[in-house]
A and B are shown apart, each in its own frame.
Chain A
Amino acid sequence: MNIKIKSENFSFYYDEVKALKNVSMDIIKNKVIGIIGPSGCGKSTFLRSINRMNDLIQGARCEGTLMIDGKDIYAPDIDVVRIRRQIGMVFQKSNPFPKSIFDNVAYGLRINGVKDKDYIHHKVEKSLKDAALWSEVENRLSKSAFDLSGGQQQRLCIARALAVEPEVLLMDEPASALDPSSTLKIEELIQELKKKYTIIIVTHNMQQAARISDYTAFFMTGELLEYDITSKIFTKPSKKITEDYITGRFG
């Protein structure tokens, strides 16, 4: 098996609060990993540790190791900017920039120094196609991204993340603010994307985790309680508490 991301005894602190406790898990390439758990269980913290977005929080620190392709993400000599390019992220609340649709997708290319206009055009088109948005926007690429619907905005953010050719895609409840049909589109998209990317998705919605993920991780109070093939987690969980959570007895 080809391990893309490996977490070994990874712990995370906000000042003195231990938000993640010795998390160890292997994430296999080109799979969808669903992370579930009640609010405040550390699932978003874990996700944001992988591309070091938690660096922005003052007083945050970590222990243990988190690796991508065997390289320590938190090694002192690592280039954070490269890590973030390699590990894309889609946020819970879609965050298009106040630019045109085209410029949103081209943003990542431009800041990475791409000047070739033809290449940018080609890449924007391809990313929008990969995010299943091209047919809806091809005639209005120069219009503001704010004119799009909520679901379209989220797919635009996915396209923007894809344009810089990441290897891993982190998604933090990407469909939580969307209506059912937009959610369905995003879910179908994830199935397409996993052919090329490794996808780690945090979700509040257990049916969604069951539908889209190959593996499911169940977090609670900062601990990884259970991590297994999705069908096993949802049919024969090895722990009583996992079963209680997925059957909706709490959370």
Chain B
Amino acid sequence: MNKKKVTEFIGFALLRLSIAMVGLILIIILYDIISRGAGKISWEFLTTMPKNGMTEGGILPAIVGTFIVTVITAILAVPLGMGCAIYLNEYAKDNLITRIIRMSIRNLSGVPSIVYGLFGVILFVQLMHLGTSILSSGLTLGLMTLPWTITASEEALKNVPNSYREGALALGASKWQTISTNVLPYAVPGMLTGTILGLARAAGETAPILFTGAAFYLPFLPKSLSSQFMALPYHLYIMSTQHHAIDKVRPIAYATALVLIVLVFTINLSAIALRYRLRKRRME
């Protein structure tokens, strides 16, 4: 074998090894969770309240809590994020201030989630007097998700060819008409996909809800936006590290993890399905 072939062989072997490692890690994690958690999952587990200090019963309030808090996150982060992205990409001049704003947004998406959690305590819980509530938690997660939605939406807008804008303007469309009729319809699939992926991440977060509204053990559903709530990621954290009968609740922890993974996976899958459908419709 000549040198060129050997180099190529080694190169490809390393690449194959990388993908095999990643795949293996994923499979081990999924196997561990599914094998130990699947047995616990039943209709009853998904639809009843926890009982006897959470050693028995289901996880219904955590599922409902995570659902509601994610909806609040979406209500804050989706319209605001899309609006910011439209302004930045379509209206703002490319100057120093815009560049600083854009850079700050990029950096905000890298801030650790616990920082958002503590910020949420100060802003929503204390200054705005919203208390430790599902609303405070949702808003905190919304702030955390915002940089993701803005960035994803801006990328989607950038992917709309400039010739669509020029073509519409040349026909006498105003700037807003151009954006609303000839840019947004083609950017929305990408915007939604990025946004939903951001929401999926928010649904799995623990730190931002830790001090702002998530409760340890509440065997009832949240009654209003100012109620505290249970959430899947926080419940998982409690069940695996903080519970007094840690060995007894181990299966519940695994089952909770499985439900959370399935939930996040479903959200991501729906994003992909939505993008596919909207793309197909556009091509027709």
**Chain A residues engaging chain B, CB cutoff 8 angstroms:** 51, 53, 56, 58, 81-82, 84-85, 88-89, 91, 93, 95, 97-98, 107-108, 110-112, 144, 146, 157, 160-161, 164
CA distance A110 to B170 in the complex (A): 14
CA distance A91 to B169 in the complex (A): 12
Q: Mark B246-284, 1 if CB is under 8 A from A, else 0.
A: 000000000000000000000000000000000000111
Instruction: Flag if A81 contacts B172 (CB, 8 Å).
Output: yes
Query: Which of B41-49, B54-62, B146-154, B174-182 is found at the contact surface with chain A?
Result: B174-182
* Chain A residues in 8 Å Cβ range of B169: 53, 56, 84
Instruction: Flag if A107 contacts B284 (CB, 8 Å).
Output: no
Q: Which residue of A lies closest to B93 (CB)?
A: A58
Q: How many residues of B contact A (CB 8 A)?
A: 22
Instruction: Flag if A91 contacts B167 (CB, 8 Å).
Output: yes
Instruction: Flag if B170 contacts A111 (CB, 8 Å).
Output: no
* Chain B residues in 8 Å Cβ range of A108: 171-173
CA distance A88 to B167 in the complex (A): 10
- Say whether, besides A98-B186, A144-B283, A161 and B171 are in contact (CB < 8 Å): yes
Instruction: Flag if B93 contacts A111 (CB, 8 Å).
Output: no
Taking the closest CB of chain B, its distance from the CB of A48, in whole angstroms, is 9
- Report, nearest first, the 9 A-B pairs whose CB atoms are least far apart: A85-B172, A95-B163, A108-B171, A89-B170, A111-B173, A95-B167, A84-B172, A111-B177, A81-B172
* Chain A residues in 8 Å Cβ range of B181: 107, 110-111
- Pick 8 A–B contacts, CB within 8 A, sort by A: A58-B94, A85-B171, A85-B172, A97-B182, A111-B171, A112-B172, A161-B171, A164-B172
Q: Which residue of A lies closest to B174 (CB)?
A: A81
Q: Which residue of B lies closest to A163 (CB)?
A: B171
* Chain A residues in 8 Å Cβ range of B173: 81, 108, 111
Taking the closest CB of chain A, its distance from the CB of B88, in whole angstroms, is 14
Judged by a CB distance under 8 angstroms, whether B168 is at the interface is yes
CA distance A107 to B169 in the complex (A): 11
Instruction: Flag if B284 contacts A160 (CB, 8 Å).
Output: no
Q: Which residue of B lies closest to A144 (CB)?
A: B284
CA distance A146 to B170 in the complex (A): 20
CA distance A84 to B284 in the complex (A): 30
Taking the closest CB of chain B, its distance from the CB of A90, in whole angstroms, is 9
- Say whether, besides A58-B93, A91-B167, A98 and B172 are in contact (CB < 8 Å): no
Judged by a CB distance under 8 angstroms, whether B119 is at the interface is no
Judged by a CB distance under 8 angstroms, whether B164 is at the interface is yes
* Chain A residues in 8 Å Cβ range of B282: 98
Instruction: Flag if A111 contacts B163 (CB, 8 Å).
Output: no
* Chain B residues in 8 Å Cβ range of A88: 170-171
* Chain A residues in 8 Å Cβ range of B182: 97, 107
Pick the contact of B172: A56, A82, A144, A146 (CB < 8 A).
Answer: A82
* 14 new A-B contacts at CB < 8 Å, known A56-B166, A91-B167, A98-B283: A53-B170, A81-B173, A82-B172, A88-B170, A91-B166, A91-B170, A95-B163, A107-B168, A107-B171, A107-B181, A107-B182, A108-B173, A111-B172, A111-B177
Chain B CB count within 10 A is highest, among A95, A110, A144, for A95
Taking the closest CB of chain A, its distance from the CB of B172, in whole angstroms, is 3
Taking the closest CB of chain A, its distance from the CB of B226, in whole angstroms, is 46
Chain B CB count within 10 A is highest, among A53, A111, A146, for A111
* Chain A residues in 8 Å Cβ range of B94: 58
Taking the closest CB of chain A, its distance from the CB of B182, in whole angstroms, is 6
CA distance A146 to B163 in the complex (A): 14
Instruction: Flag if A161 contacts B170 (CB, 8 Å).
Output: yes
Q: Which residue of A lies closest to B185 (CB)?
A: A98
Instruction: Flag if A84 contacts B170 (CB, 8 Å).
Output: yes
* Chain B residues in 8 Å Cβ range of A85: 171-172
Instruction: Flag if A95 contacts B164 (CB, 8 Å).
Output: yes
* Chain B residues in 8 Å Cβ range of A81: 172-174
* Chain B residues in 8 Å Cβ range of A144: 283-284
